[in-house]
Every structure is written in structure tokens, then in C-alpha cells.
A and B are shown apart, each in its own frame.
Chain A
Amino acid sequence: SQQGEEDPQALSIQEGENATMNCSYKTSINNLQWYRQNSGRGLVHLILIRSNEREKHSGRLRVTLDTSKKSSSLLITASRAADTASYFCATGTLGNQFYFGTGTSLTVIP
């Protein structure tokens, strides 16, 4: 079974608003990554946060990690129509696999 679960499953916002999506996972992790996937395309790596980090920023992206709650959130500020995509969290362990969640489908309305 997949490691992570994203919440909400779908999110629709107006351009310019902020979008927040959450990821919960089940076991201990080494790092957590967020990916974006446009419809029918491959995944694009957005940002990585390590288990000893609590917050990380990259451009309009802000990621938080709470290992005690086994959860992470991705905030996209000042959303654009081009941000419309599915967003997945992936947990990395000390092993070699990455476990992906079920994804949040984000629609940004121009």
C-alpha cells in the first residue's frame, strides 16, 4: 500500500489565492518530497525537506514537516493558472524506495 495520503483530494481556488495541501504518512522517514504532475505527464520534483527540518521555502512554495504528527503541508502562494496540476508527496526512507501518496488535484481558476 502507498505510504502517504494527501488531503484534500481536490482543491479549486481563484488565481492569486494561496493553496494548501497536506500529506500524512505512516512510518519513519528520512525525507519527504513534493512533486507536481501535469495531466498525462511525468512528475516534476518541487522541493525536498529532510526529517530534521521543520520548514523550507522555494520561491512561492513553502513546505512544513511535523514528524511527531507524521504530516507535511505544501503551501503555494499567489497561485497562477499554470499551477493547475496534481501534487504528490513522496516519502523517502533509509532504504531505496520512495512511497507516493494519492495526490491532490489543484485547479486554479483565472
Chain B
Amino acid sequence: DTGVSQDPRHKITKRGQNVTFRCDPISEHNRLYWYRQTLGQGPEFLTYFQNEAQLEKSRLLSDRFSAERPKGSFSTLEIQRTEQGDSAMYLCASRRLSMRGALTDTQYFGPGTRLTVL
């Protein structure tokens, strides 16, 4: 257990439905990342937050995807009008600032939410 939690762990939905995932990072971690991982592939970057600010979004993040981190703590990732191609593992990771104010290099990953779109 890395200290990063994700909920739910599994989600099965029908095409066209909206889904929302939650990530709770390690409490003192300023950075929060979302990744998507499909079968047999490595994680692909989707977006990241520095505290409550969303600083970067991948081109993979279509307009059906939205992420928030309203209080700089937990984050949500919503997918609207799900498609079968959205079926994947959605991973959250967090990272902290060191004592000297620099980012540490290590990301700590949650267990992921596996989405299946029927």
C-alpha cells in the first residue's frame, strides 16, 4: 500500500453513461497525476495538478474527460458519454515537494480503477 487510494476499484458501465473516479493522494503531496493504461501497455499520461491547479493536459484527454482537484487534496476524473475505447485502467499518482522546495522524483501510484464499457 503506497498511501494513494482510488475509488472505485472496478467500474462497469454501459456506453453513453457518465462515470466519475476519485483519487486520494498522500496528504502532503502537492502533485497529482492521472494516467490511463490499456492491456499490455504502459501508463499514458493524461493530466496533472499542482495543488488545485490543473497545469497540463495530454492530447489523449478529449473534451469528454474532465478532472478536478478542488481543494488541492483529492481529485476526480469524470468521463462523459463513455465509449468502448475508454475501457482501461485509470491510475492516479502523487508526488511531493522536498524540504528544499524541489519536486522529488518518485511518484506513488494508487491501485487504479478498472473501467469496462459495455
Contact = CB atoms under 8 A, between A and B. Distances in A.
B108 interface: yes
B85 interface: no
Interface residues of A, number: 24
Given A96-B55, A97-B56, A43 B109 contact: yes
B42 A2 contact: yes
Contact of A98 (B45, B108, B111): B45
A45 B111 contact: no
A70 B61 CA distance: 29
A79 to B, nearest CB: 22
Contact of A2 (B44, B91, B108, B112): B44
A4 B109 CA distance: 19
Contacts of A97: 45, 48, 56
Interface in A31-46: 31, 33, 35, 40-45
B106 interface: yes
Given A41-B112, A44-B109, A45-B107, 13 more contacts: A30-B105, A40-B114, A42-B112, A43-B43, A43-B91, A44-B2, A90-B42, A96-B31, A97-B48, A101-B42, A102-B40, A103-B40, A103-B41
Interface of A: 2, 4, 30-31, 33, 35, 40-45, 48, 88, 90, 92, 96-103
18 contacts: A2-B44, A4-B42, A30-B105, A40-B112, A42-B2, A42-B91, A42-B109, A42-B110, A45-B106, A48-B106, A90-B42, A92-B105, A99-B45, A100-B43, A101-B42, A103-B40, A103-B41, A103-B42
